[in-house]
Amino acid sequence: MMSLRPLLHLILLMALLCPSFSGAQKNKQEQLELQRQQKLKEIKKINALLFSNKKEEKSIITRIEDLNYKLSVRQNLINITNEQANLLTRKINNNQNEITQLRAQLKELKDDYAAMIVKSYKNRSTQSRIMFLLSSDNFKQAYKRLQYLNQYTEYQREQGEVIKEKTATLQDLNIKLNQQKANKQKLIEENRAAKRELEKEIAQREVLMASIRDDMSKFASQLKKKQQEVKRLDRDINRLIKAAIAASNKKAGNKSSTGKFVLTPEAKRLASNFKANKGKLGWPVSRGVIKIKFGRQRSLTDRSVTQNYKSIYIATEKNAEVKAVFNGEVSGILIVKNGNPAVIVKHGNYLTVYMNLAQILVKKGDQVTTGQTIGKVFSNPNTGESLLGFRVYNNDKVTNPEYWLTKN
C-alpha cells in the first residue's frame, strides 16, 4: 500500500511538467495557423489584384513575375501547412504515449484500490477496530494506531479521487486525439490541393518562359536598365532627404551637418507618436500586396539576378489612391527624369516616401493627416502593373517599411 507514494509523486510531477510542454506546442500551432491564414489571405489578394484582368493587358515579363510571386507565396503556404501537420503528428504520438502510460497507471491504481477494499471489507466491523485500539500497550501506541486508521481511510478516499481524475483525463485525451487526427487529415488534404495548384502554376510559367527564351538577351537588357533606374532613384531620394534635413535645421537656427533633424518640442512629440505606432500604421493604399520586399531580393524574372531594394513595392488596383500613413508635413516632391514623381512626408525626424505616382494632390509645405489622399498610383499601360513604391526613413537612414505597417 505505502509503495504507491513514489508513484503518486511521479504522477504529480508529470502533471506539473506536461501543461507547460503542451502549452508551448499549442502556442506554436496557433502561430502557424495565423501564418497559414495570412498566406491564404495573401493568395486571395494576389488573385484579385494580379490575375483578375485579361492576360492581354499585361506584358509577358509582368505575367511571369506575377506567377513567380504567387508561386513563392504558395510554396510558403505549403511549408507552413507541412510544419503544422508534422507538429500535429508529434502531438498525436505524445498523446498516444501518454494514454498508454495512463492506462498502465490506472490499472495499477485500480488493482491497489481493489486490494484495499478487500482488506477494508475483512476488517470492516467496528469491533475489530476497537479491539485493534484496545490491544495497544500504552496510550501513545493507541493514539498512533488511531492516526493510522484515519490516514488509511483518507488514503482510500484519495486513491478513489485519483482514479476518477485519471479516468477523466484519459477520456479527454482520447477526444483530443481523435480531433487532432481529423485536423491533421484536413491539413493533408488542403496541402494536396495547394500542391496541385502549384504544379498548374509552374506549368503556366514554363509556357510563358518558353515563349521568351529566344529573346532572353533583350529582357536581360531591360532588367539591367531597370536596375540602373532604381539606383538613380535612390540617389535622387537621398539627395532630397539630405536637403530637407539641412533646410529644416537652418530654419530652426541650427546648421548641424550630422544628417539628423534638429527637432522642436512639437516635432519631438510627432516623432514619438510615429515611433509608437510602429507595426500599426495603416497601408498607403486601400488594397495591396507586397510584391517586392525590402532588402536584397532575387529578380522575379531571372532568379540569378539580385537587387538591393530600399523600398517595398505594393501591387494595387489601377489608379489606386495613395494615402499618408501618418500626420506630417510634405517636405518635398521629387520629379524623376524618365520616371514618375514621388512625395516625401516628414513626421518629426521620420520620413515616408510614396513613389511611382501618376497624380499628386499636395504641394511642398502642406500639412497632411493620417489617411489623407496625397496622390494616385501610376498604372503602367505597357506592363499592366500598378505598383506603389513605399519607404520609411529615420533621419537619413532607410528602414524596412514592412515593419511599420499593420498586418494587412
* Higher-confidence position of 188 and 112: 188
**How far apart are the C-alpha atoms of 74 and 184, rounded to whole Å?**
19
Instruction: List CB contacts of 373: < 8 A, sequence separation 6 or more.
Output: 321, 322, 323, 361
Mean pLDDT of 358-385: 93
Query: Residue 263 belongs to what domain range?
Result: 216-403
**pTM for the predicted model, two decimal places:** 0.72
Helix then strand then coil, in percent of the chain rounded to 5, is 60, 15, 25
Q: In this predicted model, what pLDDT tens digit does every residue of 237-247 receive, in sequence order?
A: 888 888 888 88
Q: What is the pLDDT of residue 315?
A: 94
Which H helix or E strand runs over 244? Answer: helix 216-251
Tell me if 300 sits within 8 A of 60, measured CB to CB. no
Residues 89 and 178 in one domain: yes
Instruction: List CB contacts of 80: < 8 A, sequence separation 6 or more.
Output: 32, 35, 36, 39
Q: What is the pLDDT of residue 74?
A: 92
Residues 207 and 222 in one domain: no
* Higher-confidence position of 258 and 43: 43
Helix (H/G/I), strand (E/B), else coil: 298: strand
pLDDT surpassing 70 at residue 375? yes
**How far apart are the C-alpha atoms of 28 and 34, rounded to whole Å?**
10
Establish if 408 belongs to a structural domain. no
Establish if 289 belongs to a structural domain. yes
Q: In this predicted model, what pLDDT tens digit does every residue of 254-309 receive, in sequence order?
A: 766 677 898 889 999 999 999 999 999 999 999 999 998 999 887 766 666 778 88
The residue ranges of DSSP E strands in 198-320, in sequence order, are 288-292, 295-298, 306-309, 312-316
* Higher-confidence position of 173 and 273: 273
Least confident of 24-33, 109-118, 213-222, 346-355: 109-118
Which H helix or E strand runs over 394? Answer: strand 387-394
Which H helix or E strand runs over 374? Answer: strand 373-377
* Higher-confidence position of 183 and 143: 183
Grid coordinates in use for 295?
A: 532588402
* Higher-confidence position of 125 and 210: 210
Residues 191 and 102 in one domain: yes
User: How many structural domains does the chain have?
Assistant: 2
pLDDT surpassing 60 at residue 55? no
Q: What is the pLDDT of residue 213?
A: 72
Mean pLDDT of 187-208: 89
Between strands 342-347 and 328-334, the pairing is: antiparallel
Mean pLDDT of 337-361: 93
Residue 305: CATH number of its domain: 2.70.70.10
Residues 172 and 231 in one domain: no
Return the closest-CA partner of residue 70 out of 98, 87, 48.
48
Residues 145 and 173 in one domain: yes
Q: What is the pLDDT of residue 3?
A: 46
